[in-house]
Structure 1
Amino acid sequence: MTQSKKTKEMTIYEASDFWGEHDFGAAEDIRETKEIKFDLRKKKYVGIDLKLFSRIKTRAKKLHKNEDVLINEWLNEKVRV
């Protein structure tokens, strides 16, 4: 990768998926980053039926999204007043 080429910003979920599928040792052009920004928010976790979660996971994969992101989008749509 050249210095002028910009890297795409990604969410923590996208980074997790990426490194779950790629080998860090194979990336020759990785450099140490000097600036990292985090958007930390408190979260509340709720139980979801496993069969329902499996269907959500399938839908999320088709939409190229993380399950958490898709569920939050749906909940935000439902509670908008």
Structure 2
Amino acid sequence: MGKIMKMLELPGETVFRETQVILTGKRQALIENYRSILSCTREQIVVLTASGRMVISGKRLEIVNYTKLEMCIRGRIESMILEEGRKK
């Protein structure tokens, strides 16, 4: 699969549906290729990804936009932790 990706110049996050996070300072996070939203409060948002759970903590957090492929979180982001899922 790696040779085909190189030949077609495809990024890994597209081919393997890896989660991609784009941070804009501490105020906004764009998360692409996530699976689902597990919980959402003003202090913590937990997202299920292909590789585990992503926990975003902060203050005044809100999901301002989301689709099946991406979501935008705004607020004061203080930390992001990726908790790996179980290996099969």
**What is the TM-score normalised by the length of structure 2?**
0.23
Q: Which has the higher strand share?
A: 2
Which of the pair has more CA radius of gyration? 1
Q: Which has the higher helix share?
A: 1
